[in-house]
Each structure stands twice: as C-alpha cells, then as structure tokens.
C-alpha cells in the first residue's frame, strides 16, 4: 500500500494501523474534530448568518479539497481562497459552491475568473472594467465582492468613499455585486476599541448602500465571530477556528473547539553519546553527560521551524524530549535519556497529544517567535496528509 498525497484512513488513527509503516513524517487530520469545530462555529453564527470557510493556503496546511468537502457537507455556503489557482483547484471539485478569491483580483486574470465562475475581491476600476469586458464578450455575468478598507490598510476602497464606488460599479454592465466586505485588524486582541470602530464604519457604509441588492455582507474573521457578535452580519469568515486553534488568548469561547492536526514522525536512529561531544551544524550543543539521543527524520525542509533548535520539544513515550543542537533540513536530534523502552520506529509527536502530554501549535509558534498560522502553512507538501475518519 503506497499512500497518495492525501488519503482517508477509516479507523482510530493509531500508528499501528496498516499503511503507517510506509510513513516517515506525516500530518494527521482528524475529520470528526473538524466537523465538530464547524458545527460549533455554525451554532455561534446563528440563523441568518452564512459561513464562508477560509481554506486558503491549502486550508492552512490541512488540505483544501478534503476540508472543503466536509465544510460543504455541513452547510457552509462559500469557500474563501487567496489566489486564482487555489480557486480553480476547488472549482474542479465543486461545481456550484461560491468560491471567493480574497486577495485583490488582477485584471490580467479576468478571463479565468469568468471561465471558472470565481468571485474576485475587487477595489479598482481596472479590475471592474476587465471583468465587465470579459463577461459581456462571453454573454455572462461576473460576480464580485467589493473590499471596503476600514483600517487594515492592505487593499480596498476607503470606507469614506466606498458607497460612491459601489454605486458606480452597480451600473456597470456584466457585473453583479455578490458581496461587500471588510477585514478586522485587531478583533483577536484584548483591546477591541479599534475593532468596534471598524465595525461602525462598515455598518455606516452598509446603511448608505441599503437600496443596492447585495447577497453577502461580511467582516468577521475568527476574532470577530467570537468577540463581536454584532459583527456577524449575514456572513462570517472563520479560518483558524475551523482547524481548532485560537488566534490569541483573548478570543472568547475558543475552548469550544479542538485542534484538528497532529504532526508526527518516527525515530530513525538511537545512539549513546559520551560527555563532551558536540551535536549538529555549528556545534551549538555540547553534551554535559552521557546521553541517549534519538534522530528524527524531520526538519525545516518539512516546515518544522529551525528556530526551535536547542529550545523545542517533541513527545516520545508520552514524555517531553528536548531538541538538541540545530534543526537541519531533514533531521534533528532529541534527548531520550530519561525515557524508558524507546525503540527505532517509535512515533514522536511534534504537534499534538501523546498520552497525557500535549504540544499545541500555539506552543510551537510561541517557542519559534511566530503565530500558529505560519506553523500550519509551513508544513509543506512532502509531508503526507493522512485523514482519520471514525464515522
């Protein structure tokens, strides 16, 4: 049995299951937990508020196609991606689901947006005109979402002039304004004062265009969903919460969802190392005693942070094993001196739970001085995704 890029394993997810012997390093995606997280978000959203599942960057490393399939089954009304190519990948799987490309659309891609029925986020006349021309040439309509900048500063029409822009776009032949949107900059922080101002500016804008038919109105990311109920409007855009991780300690109610992804590998080699030896590139670790060291076949080439050199941990035998020396492209070493009965090919958990111990993505991110988003999206394609479905 040779695993393809993505596989569904019916069973418990135990590493002894048939096929795991072929794996070296893999990311395990728990489908029932994913479903539960989506249900939690839907309950928070309430009636009258649709969900756009944000599945950009390969669903934050979890696998865009498989995550989207589960989300759509559970009633998610739209999928959010960040590029044309991501949108095309999903359109080849989902014929009718609205797919919104959340980054600014580029006029040179207008033909493909029309061909694949993707909805770009737009904020310029150049893009509006290109889409209009392609839509009219093909005898169809271009469905768009107009981005309103309420303070993020990346893309969008400033909220003070946005109603005028929307009214002019509404008149353009071949264009249907499917949605209007904005984006919070601080909805997951302790101080929500600026987020509340952003919401007020967006609501004020919506009031000005209330006579224009717009299907979707959305501003809430995970922080907005959980911290600002009034910001849910008629659509929300959960991202990190789908995958069971809170973007910060200040997101209320985040304990309702659980992590979906575990990152695992197997011990490739074990040896005794005398006192006074140096380990790995740069000789950054010197053994201060006789040590028992395990080599793991995983490194920054798989997306595991090099910044965890000499500071991170993995779980082996349900206990924490400290990383020794520099994390290299394909391998790293850990201290198993105090862990009994460890063998080659035993499983090491880099992110996830083993026994009573757990290393979360947020803990890894903190040790690497980054955020969980980067940890997940850095897990690259050579790491096998294995989907566990017990239903």
Q: Which of 20, 56, 243, 387 is catalytic?
A: 56
Q: How many CB atoms lie within 10 A of CB 281?
A: 11
Give the integer Cα–Cα distance in Å for 173 and 119. 16
Q: How far apart are CA 110 and CA 375, in angstroms?
A: 33
Find the catalytic residue in 5, 73, 115, 281: 281
Annotated catalytic residue 304: no
Give, in order, the Cα–Cα distances in Å from 70 to each of 79, 113, 206, 389.
Answer: 12, 25, 32, 11
The structure tokens listed for 210 are 């209330």
* Residue of 316, 119, 107 whose CA lies nearest to 214: 119
Which is nearest to 217 in space by CA: 226, 207, 259?
Answer: 207
Q: Is 313 a catalytic residue?
A: no
CB 299 within 8 A of CB 328: yes
Sign of CA pseudo-dihedral 69, 71, 72, 73? positive
Report, as residue numbers or ranges, the catalytic residues.
Answer: 56, 281
């Amino acid at each position: 049995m040779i695993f393809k890029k993505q596989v569904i394993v019916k069973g418990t997810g135990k590493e002894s299951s048939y096929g795991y012997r072929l794996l070296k390093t893999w990311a395990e995606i728990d489908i029932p937990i994913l479903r539960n997280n989506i249900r939690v978000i839907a309950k928070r959203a309430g009636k009258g508020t649709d969900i756009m599942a944000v599945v950009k960057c390969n669903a934050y490393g979890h696998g865009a196609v498989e995550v989207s399939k589960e989300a759509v089954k559970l009633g998610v009304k739209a999928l959010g991606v960040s590029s044309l190519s991501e949108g095309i990948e999903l359109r080849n799987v989902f014929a009718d689901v609205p797919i919104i490309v959340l980054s600014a659309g580029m006029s040179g891609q207008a033909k493909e947006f029309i061909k694949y029925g993707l909805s770009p986020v737009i904020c310029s006349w150049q893009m509006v005109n290109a889409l209009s021309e392609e839509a009219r040439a093909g005898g169809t309509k271009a469905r768009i979402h107009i981005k309103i900048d309420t303070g993020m500063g990346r893309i969008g029409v400033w909220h003070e002039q946005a109603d005028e822009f929307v009214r002019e776009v509404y008149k353009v032949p071949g264009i249907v304004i499917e949605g209007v949107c904005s984006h919070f900059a601080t909805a997951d922080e302790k101080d929500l004062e600026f987020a509340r101002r952003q919401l007020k500016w967006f609501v004020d804008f919506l009031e000005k265009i209330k006579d224009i038919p717009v299907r979707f109105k959305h501003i809430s990311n995970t922080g907005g969903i959980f911290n600002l109920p009034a910001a849910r409007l008629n659509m929300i855009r959960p991202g990190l919460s789908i995958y069971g991780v809170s973007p910060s300690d200040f997101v209320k109610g985040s304990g309702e969802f659980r992590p979906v992804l575990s990152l695992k590998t197997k011990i490739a080699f074990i040896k005794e190392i005398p006192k006074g030896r140096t380990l790995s590139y740069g000789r950054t670790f010197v053994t201060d005693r006789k040590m028992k060291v395990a080599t793991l076949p995983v490194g920054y080439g798989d997306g595991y942070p090099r910044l965890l050199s000499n500071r991170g941990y993995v779980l082996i035998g349900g206990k924490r094993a400290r990383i020794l020396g520099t994390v290299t492209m394909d391998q790293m070493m850990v201290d198993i001196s105090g862990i009994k009965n460890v063998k080659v090919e035993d499983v090491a958990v880099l992110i996830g739970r083993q026994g009573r111990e757990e290393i979360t993505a947020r803990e890894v991110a903190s040790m690497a001085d980054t955020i969980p988003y980067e940890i997940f999206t850095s897990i690259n394609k050579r790491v096998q995704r294995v989907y566990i479905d017990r239903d």
